[in-house]
Amino acid sequence: MKIAVVGTGYVGLVTGTCFAETGNTVHCVDIDERKVKKLQNGVITIYEPGLEALFERNIEQGRLKFTTNLAEGIKDAEIIFLALPTPPGEDGSADLKYVLNVAKDLGFLLEKYAVVVDKSTVPVGTAEKVHAKIAENAKVAFDVVSNPEFLREGVAVEDFMKPDRVVVGTSSERARKKMEQLYAPFVRQGNPIIFMDERSAEMTKYAANSFLAAKITFMNEIANLCDKVGANVDDIRRGIGSDSRIGKRFLFAGIGYGGSCFPKDVQALAKTSQDYAYDFRMLKAVMDVNADQKSKLLPKVKEYFGGDLAGKKIAVWGLSFKPYTDDIREAPALENIKALLAEGASVVAYDPEAMENVREVVGTSIAFAESPYEALEDADALMIFTEWPVFRTPDFEKMESLLNNKAIFDGRNLFEPELMEELGFVYHSIGRRA
């Protein structure tokens, strides 16, 4: 099939590359000339494990192309994906200007029937708006379909190639057939393509992310209570997770969820509820608890140093919002670093992928280390914000010899409290007896 993908951000690039991998010819369009030049030269613009090899192969074999020209990109396309940014506006609602601008252009440009697919996470009712915008100027028949993505950063290629499910919202039989054909190679193992109307598909995406954010938040609250009653949240996780109705995943308590999706989508669903005069109380609680969760460790650090962090040197392990990504959007580490600096502490940070991105935000206000151990040199305590595997089984003897105080404040529950006690560390984590 001939496919166009408009927007070569994270979702667009993964989508375009993976569709090329199953034999489609994919033309990706972006207005950013510098980015398109790079992509045309075979230089990948995002970090995502496994993507680069697919990207290079499909460019080499002529199935994956890039352009800044929308008319050229969508020429002959049977399916046109919109993978455009929908940043939160001031009131938390998703801003549709990029999506609607492209929809308007498509109205003028479409020369034959095409299926236009909303891939971006967009509020309920957007497919109808996109349809109306294209229809203002369209001379040919077309359909607008909602096909939300459920990719996790860091495992996006795997999620795309073997999705748990594909959700397609359409009321057109013609569009449904096209989408079925396109996704057939990805659902061969029996995972379903779930068809529904456009509004339900749009809502499914928000419901999925908000549910997962709520699941994590529930565990974070259980962890906070564990701290008080003297129970261990890890045992509780195992105890409830083995009930198949609850499930084992997304039950890890920690220093709060971050990233570009959960915070934005929970907020956007809250805004939709408000627009429809529905008081979605749970969402408000999820947002409140998560905001507090990000600052759960700092008071413990302060208490350890007798209430004063001035002049203390704090080592930080982990900057990205989760492992296997350099993404630092809404990352708990950033907020904590700012708070540490405000308290007069100095910070030396290490992260396997995200240091460059953090440097752009914080400049020279903190120092960066070449390795986890270098960050510990002469530091007064260690704080951990991301569960990169490289932090999981460190050389504790070496840590002890480098750190001034044997104090670790772990926002991701990486180590067993009993072991840490045996080794003589002061060890604070989330929801487990210190």
Interface contacts to ligand UGA, rule CB under 6 A: 121, 149-153, 209, 212, 216, 250-252, 254, 257-259, 261-262, 321-322
> In angstroms, what is the minimal distance from the CB of 382 to ligand UGA?
19
Q: Which is nearer to ligand UGA, 157 or 216 (by Cβ)? A: 216
> In angstroms, what is the minimal distance from the CB of 252 to ligand UGA?
3
Q: Which is nearer to ligand UGA, 186 or 250 (by Cβ)? A: 250
226 is catalytic: no
Q: List binding-site positions.
A: 30, 35, 86, 121, 150-153, 205, 250-254, 258, 264, 322, 329
> Which is nearest to 385 in space by CA: 337, 433, 432, 422?
337
> In angstroms, what is the minimal distance from the CB of 133 to ligand UGA?
24
Residue tagged 């379909």 (tokens): 145
* Count of CB atoms situated within 10 Å of the CB of 151: 19
CA-atom Rg of the chain in angstroms = 24
Q: Which is nearer to ligand UGA, 24 or 325 (by Cβ)? A: 325
Q: List binding-site positions for NAD(+).
A: 30, 35, 86, 121, 153, 264, 329
> In angstroms, what is the minimal distance from the CB of 262 to ligand UGA?
5
* Count of CB atoms situated within 10 Å of the CB of 108: 13
Residue 397: exposure state from Cβ atoms within 10 A (0-12, 13-18, ≥19): exposed
Q: Which is nearer to ligand UGA, 216 or 289 (by Cβ)? A: 216
Helix, strand or coil, per DSSP, at residue 382: strand
CA distance 257 to 260: 10
> In angstroms, what is the minimal distance from the CB of 8 to ligand UGA?
16
Q: List binding-site positions for substrate.
A: 150-153, 205, 250-254, 258, 322
CA distance 234 to 252: 8
Q: Strand 2-6 vs strand 79-82: parallel, antiparallel, or unpaired? A: parallel
Cβ atoms of 228 and 426 closer than 8 Å: no
Half-sphere exposure of 411 (CA within 13 A, CB side): 30
Q: Write out the two tokens for 369.
A: 């280390």
Catalytic residue among 18, 28, 226, 261: 261
Q: Which is nearer to ligand UGA, 251 or 407 (by Cβ)? A: 251
* Active centre residues (catalytic): 261
